[in-house]
Structure formats: C-alpha cells, structure tokens
C-alpha cells in the first residue's frame, strides 16, 4: 500500500469539515428564519473550524518570552491588500477587552462575517502567495488548492444575516474544539433532501439578487459622481458666461468713448492744420529774406570745414601710427608671455622626468643591493659546492684505487688457481675446499664491486646536478653583471638630464628676469600715461612762449604741441626726430615723454 502524505490528509479533513460546517450553518440559518447571534451553536462551530483551517501549517515565530503561533499576522496583512478592510482592523485594535492576538483574530472573523466580505478578504490574501509564505509553511492549507476551495465556499455565507456582539465577549480565553456530533447523519436528514433542494434554489436566487443589487449600487454611485461633475461644470460655465457678458458690455462702452474721443481729435487736428499753414507761409517769406545771409555763412563754414578736415586727417594719421605701435607692443608682450608659459611647461615636465629618474635610480639601487646580497649567497653556495665536488673527486679516486686493487687481486687469484690446477691435479680433493673458499671470496668481491659501481653512479648523478646548479648560478651572476652595466648607463643618463635641467633652469631664470624688467617698463609707461591723461592742451592764445627756451613764438619760431603730455615747444627746441616706416619724413618727438609732436599755427598768424 502507498503511504499517504499526512499533511494532505489533514488538508482533506479540514476541507470536509469546512464544507460540513458551512452547509450546516446555511441550512440551519434558513430554517431558523431570523438574524443569528453569537450564541448560535452552528455559528460557533463555524468559527472554530475556520480557526483550525487558518492555523494549519502556521510558522512558529520567536518572541522575547516564548514561541508565538497566531493567525492574527496574516489577517492583519489583509489591511494592506484590501483598503476596505482598514475599518475592521482599526475597530479590532480599538476594542478594550482584547489582549491576545488570537482574540483579535476571532473578533476580525466575526466582523468580516457581519460585513459579508470574509470571502473577498481571504481571496485577496490567498492570491499573494509570496506574502503568505512568511507566515505559513509550503504544505499549509492556505498555500494549497484547498484554501481556494474554502474561499469559494465562504461566498455562500453572504445569504446569512448575523448580528454579533464582539465588545463584551471574552474571545481571548475561548477553547476551539470541534463538535463532530452536530455533523453526524440522522433519519430526518435523509428524509429532507427535497427541502435541501428548495433551500439551495432559494439561496441561489438570493445570491443572484444580492449580486444584482451590488452591481446596481455601483452603477448608481458612478452616475451620482457623473451628475456631480456635470453640475460643477454647468455652474462653472454659467459663471464664465456671466463674466463674458460683463466683458462685452464694458468693451461696448469703451468703444463708444473711443469713437467720441476720435471725433474730438479730428476737430482739433483740423484747427491746428489751418494755424500751421499760416505759420509756414510767414516762415517762407522770412526764409527767402535770410537765404542770402545763409549762403555767405555757408561759404565761411565750408572753408572752416576744409581746415578742420585737414586737421582731422593729420590727427588720424598720427592715431594710426600710435595704434600700430601699440599693436606691436601688445604682440611682443603676448609672444613673451607665450614663451614664458612654454618654458614653465617644459620646466614642469623636466622636473617630473627628474623625479621619475630619481625614483628609478632608487629602485635600481635597491635591486642592486638585493642582487649583491644574492650574489654573495650564491658565491658562498658555489664555494660549498666546489668543496663537495673536491670531496667527491677524492672519494672517487679512492674507489678507483680500491677497484684496481680488487681487479689485481682477482687476477692474481685466477693465476694462482690455474697454477694450482696444473700443479695439483692429483691433489684435487685436498684443494677443493680451498677452491670453494676462493669462490666465496670471489663472490664477495663481485658484490663489493657492484655496490661500489652503484655508489659511483649515484655520486656521478650528484656531481651532474651540482654542475647544473653551478651553471645556473653563473648565468644569474652574468645577469647581475648586466644589471650593473644598465645601472651605470642610467646613472650617466641621469647626470646628463641633470645638466640639461640645470641649463634650462638658468635659461628660465634669465627669461624671468628679462620678463620682469619688461613688465616693470610697461607698468612705468602705463603709470606715465595715467598721470598724463588728466592734462589738457593749452589754448593758442594762452601759449605765447616756449616751454624750454621761454622765447616768444613767431614765424621763425613755430609751435609744436605734444599730444601726450600737453606741452608746447618751438621748432628750435624740439630737434629730436624719429624715423617711422609709415611716414617718408622723420617725426619730431617730445623731450619729456618721447611722444610725436604736432605742428600748430602761431597765435599771431591769421
């Protein structure tokens, strides 16, 4: 016989008990014909069976004092999955008489039955298997198909109206024991099959009516919501229509005002045009009379304009010369700054290379020390191996001597044996014992010879190994010598780089000194320009004498004005001339600021 799984048997028994309790509760409630209360025995048995179904396969949770095994944990989870269950959970937590989680779970089941939503709540819980796995084992009733069957059976309880008093009842200390005597068959049950069929038909009709009522309630609520939204939108549209009407009235009033203002403006403009026509005719007559004087003034102004244009041309030429000089100075400054930046970058790169070379030198020095130590150790090993090889050669020579002596002894023994055989043929019996002894000695000598040969072979193998180690050590010493040579080459490169770096640092210092001198000169020129910016040219009438020789200006002593510092010199004092590539003639220069002088006509000339 195949052994059945005990957990499967337990699930089947609990499912059958749930079927019997739900069927008996529905039949008794319909025959009872009124609202059920908490003292009704089939209802109490139903809650006991539901507790056993929910407790099946429940995991044991550790607490501070003891192990805890309660169904309140998964039932409390329904609150998160089904928002309508929040009201039940809150009311269960607020009950004053409940102290244990089991009591809260019992109260929750009673409230869910009164709401007729127990099947919906447990269906949401069964769907979430991953969350239930935290509370139940994998073989539990709620994790298998039997749990879904029980949830389907619970839908039939919606035909029952229950009025349960949870507040004053002691739910913590109740003992959940199933009374099997209620579910045993009797003769009355066998005879009432027709009544059960009628009851089932009535239950089906009631379920259909309740489901239809539920759907109608949902449609009514949705229609109420739509009516509310339409009323709100209608009120908004009425308000917007009133506002639009008010805006139209205001715009019409503004349009009327603007039209009246437009007519007034037209009247005023016509009067103004008539007055302006009279003024224009008077001005034309005055213009004809004043035109002749204006022509004379025009010729005079034209002559002055030519003179001013000539002066402006001269000033523009000088300005071009000054701008070209300024651009050349700025270009030279930019080139100097660029050269300095490049030299700084090269200096930084050389310093980094110097640091890298120093680090390489330190590493090579450390490697050289390590290789020297290894070389010393290997020289010591070589000396030891040479001593061993000398000892092995000495032992080999001794063994060869012993082998030669043994061969000579064997030859002598053979010669004596032949002589004895020839001389003492007749005395064979007496010499047979001696011959056997000689044979024994010969065998012993042969065994000794074999042992010495094997020993010699092992010594030769050891000698070959020692030779290989010596050759390996010689190659390593050769590598160390090569490393020394590379280290010497790197030292020479380091010295060369140091010398190059020192030369470049000296060149950078020279460039820096020159740059600082040029910057100081530029700053001096800028300060001189700033100091001279506030000075103003003297008027021709005020400048009557030369600044240097203090003689009066005349036709022979013409004025030369410095545009930079504002001083006025005569042509005799301003003899400093500077050739420029842009002008064919040399230009006179100021003695104080070395700016280009501008020749101005004397004040006593027309």
Which residue in the block uniquely carries the two structure tokens 């120093």? 358
| CB 552, CB 544: distance < 8 Å | yes
**Cβ–Cβ < 8 Å for 564, 532:** yes
Q: Residue 551: helix, strand or coil by DSSP?
A: coil
Between the alpha carbon of residue 16 and those of residues 19, 40, 136, 172, 498, the distances in Å are: 5, 21, 21, 27, 100
* Domain CATH for 106: 1.20.58.900
In a domain, 109, yes or no: yes
Record the tokens describing residue 235, joined without a space.
């009120």
Alpha-carbon distance of 285 to 540, in angstroms, equals 42
Contact criterion met (CB below 8 Å) for 589 and 578 = yes
Helix (H) or strand (E) holding 62: strand 61-62
CATH number for the domain harbouring residue 575: 3.30.40.10
Q: Decide if 191 is inside a domain.
A: no
| CA atoms of 369 and 354, how far apart (whole Å) | 22
Q: Please identify, among 156, 183, 210, the residue that sits at the C-terminal boundary of a domain.
A: 183
Instruction: Tell me which DSSP letter residue 588 carries.
Output: E
For residue 353 the two structure tokens come to 């290379």
Cβ atoms within 10 Å of 457's Cβ, excluding its own: 10
In sequence order, the β-bridge partners of residue 62 are: 67
The CA distance from 533 to 332, in Å, is 24
**Biggest distance spanned by C-alpha atoms of the chain:** 195
Domain end marker among 165, 183, 201? 183
Integer Cα distance of 483 and 480 in angstroms: 5
Task: Indicate whether 583 belongs to any domain.
Answer: yes
Report yes or no: 361 and 490 within 8 Å, Cβ to Cβ.
yes
Q: How many helices and strands in the chain, by DSSP H and E?
A: 11, 7
Choose one of 148, 165, 183: the last residue of a domain. Answer: 183
Three-state secondary-structure class, residue 5: coil
Dig out the tokens for 415 from the structure: 């010669």
Quick: pLDDT tens for 40-94.
888 888 888 898 888 888 887 655 544 456 888 888 888 888 888 888 888 888 8
Tell me the C-alpha distance between 196 and 190, whole Å.
Answer: 10
The helix-helix angle for 101-115 and 41-55 (nearest 10°) equals: 120
Q: Are 208 and 156 in contact (CB under 8 A)?
A: no
Predicted confidence (pLDDT) per residue in 241-274, tens digit: 999 999 999 998 988 888 888 888 988 888 888 8
- Give CA–CA dist 242/28, Å, rounded: 66
The answer to whether residue 117 is domain-embedded is: yes
Q: Residue 426 domain-assigned? A: no
CB of 107 closer than 8 Å to CB of 98: yes
Q: Which two structure tokens, joined as six digits, stand for 547?
A: 């600044």
CA dist., res. 543 & res. 568, Å (int): 7
155 inside domain:
yes
- Using only C-alpha atoms, what is the Rg of the chain? 64
Convert 428-443 to b/e letters by CB count within 10 Å (16 or more is b). Answer: eeebeeeeeebeeeee
Contact status, residue 157 vs residue 118, Cβ threshold 8 Å: yes
Q: Tokens in use for 7?
A: 């957990």
DSSP letter at 181 equals: G
- Ranges in the chain, pLDDT < 70: 1-4, 33-34, 61-69, 179, 181-197, 420-421, 424-428, 430-431, 530-541, 555-567, 569, 571-572, 574-606
The structural domain count of the chain equals 2
Using a cut of 0.75, tell me whether the model's pTM lies above it: no
Q: Which of 512, 176, 110, 133 is nearest to 340 (CA)?
A: 512
Per the structure, the complete domain to which residue 178 belongs is given by: 6-183
Query: For residue 606, what pLDDT is reported?
Result: 28
- In-domain check, residue 13: yes
Do residues 372 and 481 lie in contact, with contact meaning Cβ atoms separated by under 8 Å?
A: no
- 368 domain residue, yes or no: no
Tokens 């490169």 belong to residue: 493
């Amino acid at each position: 016989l195949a052994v059945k799984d005990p957990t499967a048997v337990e699930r089947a028994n609990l499912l059958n008990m749930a079927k019997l309790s739900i069927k008996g509760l529905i039949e008794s409630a319909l025959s009872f014909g009124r609202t059920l209360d908490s003292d009704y025995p089939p209802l109490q048995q139903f809650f006991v069976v539901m507790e056993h179904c929910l407790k099946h396969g429940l995991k044991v949770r550790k607490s501070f004092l003891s192990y805890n095994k309660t169904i309140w944990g998964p039932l409390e989870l329904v609150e998160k999955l089904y928002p309508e269950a929040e009201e039940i959970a809150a009311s269960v937590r607020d009950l004053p008489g409940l102290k244990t989680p089991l009591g809260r779970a019992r109260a929750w089941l009673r409230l869910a039955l009164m709401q007729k939503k127990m099947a919906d709540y447990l269906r949401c819980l069964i769907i979430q298997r991953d969350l239930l796995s935290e509370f139940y084992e994998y073989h539990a009733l709620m994790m298998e198909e039997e749990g879904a069957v029980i949830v389907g059976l619970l839908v039939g309880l919606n035909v029952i109206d229950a009025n349960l008093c949870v507040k004053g009842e002691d739910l913590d200390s109740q003992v959940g024991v199933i009374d099997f005597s209620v579910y045993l068959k009797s003769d009355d049950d066998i005879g009432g099959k027709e009544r059960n069929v009628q009851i089932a038909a009535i239950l089906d009709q009631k379920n259909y009516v309740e489901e239809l009522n539920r759907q109608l309630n949902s449609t009514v609520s949705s229609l109420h919501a739509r009516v509310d939204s339409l009323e709100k939108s209608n009120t908004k549209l009425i308000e917007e229509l009133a506002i639009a009407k008010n805006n139209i009235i205001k715009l019409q009033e503004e349009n009327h005002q603007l039209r009246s203002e437009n007519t007034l403006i037209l009247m005023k403009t016509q009067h103004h045009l008539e007055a302006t026509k009279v003024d224009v005719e008077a001005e034309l007559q005055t213009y004809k009379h004043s035109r002749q004087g204006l022509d004379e003034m025009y010729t005079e102004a034209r002559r002055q304009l030519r003179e001013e244009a000539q002066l402006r041309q001269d000033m523009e030429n000088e300005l071009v010369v000054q701008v070209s000089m300024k651009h050349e100075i700025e270009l030279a400054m930019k080139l100097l700054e660029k050269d300095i930046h490049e030299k700084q970058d090269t200096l930084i790169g050389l310093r980094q290379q110097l640091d890298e070379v120093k680090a390489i030198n330190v590493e090579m020095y450390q490697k050289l020390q390590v290789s020297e130590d290894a070389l010393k150790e290997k020289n010591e090993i070589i000396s030891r191996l040479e001593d061993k090889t000398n000892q092995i050669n000495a032992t080999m020579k001794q063994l060869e001597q012993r082998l030669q002596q043994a061969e000579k002894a064997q030859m002598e023994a053979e010669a004596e044996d032949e002589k004895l055989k020839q001389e003492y043929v007749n005395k064979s019996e007496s010499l047979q014992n001696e011959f056997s002894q000689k044979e024994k000695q010969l065998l012993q000598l042969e065994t000794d010879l074999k042992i010495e040969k094997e020993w010699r072979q092992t010594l030769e193998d050891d000698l070959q190994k020692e030779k290989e180690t010596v050759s390996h050590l010689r190659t390593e010493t050769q590598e160390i010598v090569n490393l020394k040579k590379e280290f010497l080459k790197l030292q020479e490169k380091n010295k060369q780089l140091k010398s190059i770096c020192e030369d470049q640092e000296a060149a950078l210092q020279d460039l820096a000194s020159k740059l600082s001198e040029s910057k100081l000169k530029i700053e001096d020129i800028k300060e001189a320009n700033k100091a001279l910016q506030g000075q103003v040219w003297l008027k021709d009438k005020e400048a009557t004498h030369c600044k240097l020789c203090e003689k009066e200006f005349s036709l022979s002593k013409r004025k030369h004005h410095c545009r930079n510092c504002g001083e006025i010199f005569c042509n005799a004092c301003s003899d400093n001339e500077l050739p420029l590539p842009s002008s064919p003639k040399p230009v006179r220069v100021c003695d104080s600021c070395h700016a280009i002088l501008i020749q101005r006509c004397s004040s006593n000339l027309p």
